[in-house]
Each structure stands twice: as structure tokens, then as C-alpha cells.
Amino acid sequence: MSEVAVAGGRTAWRGRLGTEAQLAGARLDARRALQLALAAIWLLDAVLQYQSFMYTKAFGQMIAATASGNPSVIARPITWNATLVEHHLAAINTIFATIQLLIGLGIAFRPTVRLALAVSIAWSLGVWWFGEGLGGVLSGAASPLNGAPGAVIIYALLAVLLWPADRDIAAPFTAARAVGARVARGLWLVLWLSLAYFAVTPANRAPQAIHGMIAGMESGNPGWLAALDRGAASLVSGQGLAASIVLAVALVLIAVGVYLPSSAAKATLVLAIVVALMIWVFGEAFGTIMTGGGTDPNSGPLLVLLALCYWPLGSADGLNATEGKAA
């Protein structure tokens, strides 16, 4: 073999290796960007938890209210937690806020990202029960417009999907890398179909149900946001059934969208982002964070982040990932 051929082969090998390393780095950066976005939301939660409002009895009362309508086996631990918080308010709230702060910083700091994500899953499950009453899914009060099935459970889902591991190197979207495409699509389907179901439950399809939910967001918010809520509430006044059906149909389309070809999947993901933002503005009033009493931004931003986790990767990325797996 001539020296020219050997040199050419060596150059080609190095060029290919460099390209694959750059693509792998780009793929990693995409997931890392989503992890950092999740970290930012956790840090926002911590800041909100440190608010003076959370050091008043209102915080304990807020927790206690989530027990309403739940089975006693769920409600009693919530009531116990609320009582404990009220008796040791300053210490417990500071601990809560600090845990969220450490989770956010841990996810943002690469060496501790696995530990922080693991802690966030455990913390989210605990808060989902003891702080959110399982998002109201057992009380009949759950609605896509009020954050069902509980914003905090979406934190746990995001932690699983953004776990820094590569079970599926040729993943068609970022969320599939750690758990595989089939599992990731199944989790997406369950979440959005559950939202569609909650949209048409009797409590949410009553003539004035959606109107009342949106109108209730006016209190304590800035004038411009209150005006938006009033306008949206007036549009659905007396149209609870129709509005619920339209919302449910959109949610079903979003749920099945990840099973569609790439171009159609992107369209349904855009729909998911638009619906999430509308829920955040009109149903959740930005998580009531502008009232000084919001503990988190609620589900809207988390649903947007989740949709970005499912954004289809380019064909070139998929091809190179497949080559890397075969190698």
C-alpha cells in the first residue's frame, strides 16, 4: 500500500472522527440546553418559595386546601403536612426553598446533574402528594387550565426524559435518548390524553366552568393581565361544553402527534406549545407569580419545555447516531 493511500485513509478516518465528535457534542448540547432550562425553572421556584407570603399562615392554608375532595388516605397526610408547616413555618419553608435552590444549582452544575435530577424526582413525587393533592386528579377538580395533573409531576417526567444517559443513540428526538423512543412516546401519550380526559369531565364541561376558572384568575394580577382574563372569560361564557370539546380535540391531536412523520409531528408540537402558552396565560395567569402568592410558574412553561424535548432531530443527526451505534 502506498504512503499516499495510507495518509489519505488516515486523514479520512480523522475527518470522520472529528465530524462524529462534533455531532455528538451538538446532540449533547441540545439536551444540556434543555437541562439548563429545567434548572432555571427550579431556581425560579426557589425564589418564589422565599417570598414573604410563604412565611405566613396562608402557605399552610394553601397546602391544606389541596386535601379537599380527595380520598381520606390521600387527604389525611396532606392535612398533617399543612399542620406541620403552620407550626414550624419559618424553618420548614426555608428548607423547602433551599431544597429547590440546590436542585436547580445541581442540575446547572454538570458534575452533579445526575444526583440533582434524582433528588428532583423524589422531591416532585412528595410535593405532588403532600403539597398538590395529586393535582386534583382524584377529587374531580383536575383541569388542563388549572395545571392538572399537577405541575410538579411534570418536573419528575422531565428529569426522567433528560437523564444524562444514552439508551438509544439513534433517538429521533432528545426525550428518547435516555428511555428509548417507545417509552418516551408512551409517556407523552399518557400525559396529553389524560389532559384531554380532564378537559371533558363533568366539572369542566359545565356551561360556566371554564368561564369561572378563567375569571377567577383576575384577582391580584396586574390590570393588563386581568383585562386579558376578562376578555377570555367572556368568550367562553356559557360555552363550557363546546370549549371543553375543542380543547380536548386539540389535546388528543397533540397526544398522537409524536407517532406521526417528522413534518406532521413538528406541527403538532407547535400546537402543543401554543396550547401550553394559552393555558399559562389565560388558565394559570402565569402561575399567579405576579400576585406575590405563586409558588411556581405552574404547568405552562413545563409543557413547552416538554414539547421541545420531543422536537424531531435532523436526518443527518439520526444517520450519524446510527453509524455511531453500529461502530
Half-sphere exposure (CA, 13 Å, Cβ side) for 145? 26
Please give the DSSP secondary-structure letter assigned to residue 141.
-
pLDDT at 39: 98
Q: What is the pLDDT of residues 43-76, one digit of tens each?
A: 999 999 999 999 999 999 999 999 999 999 999 9
Domain ranges in the chain are 18-316
| Category of 169 on φ-ψ map: left (φ > 0), alpha (ψ -120 to 50) or beta | alpha
Q: Model-level pTM?
A: 0.86
In sequence order, what DSSP letters do the residues of 246-313 get, joined into one string?
Answer: HHHHHHHHHHHHTTS-HHHHHHHHHHHHHHHHHIIIIISGGGGGGGT--SS--HHHHHHHHHHHTPBP
Series of mean pLDDT values for 10-residue runs along the chain (327 residues): 46 43 54 97 96 93 93 94 94 97 97 98 96 90 90 96 89 95 97 96 90 86 88 88 95 97 96 96 90 90 97 59 35
Q: What is the pLDDT of residues 203-222, one digit of tens each?
A: 888 989 898 988 888 888 88
Q: What is the total residue count of the chain?
A: 327
pLDDT at 107: 98
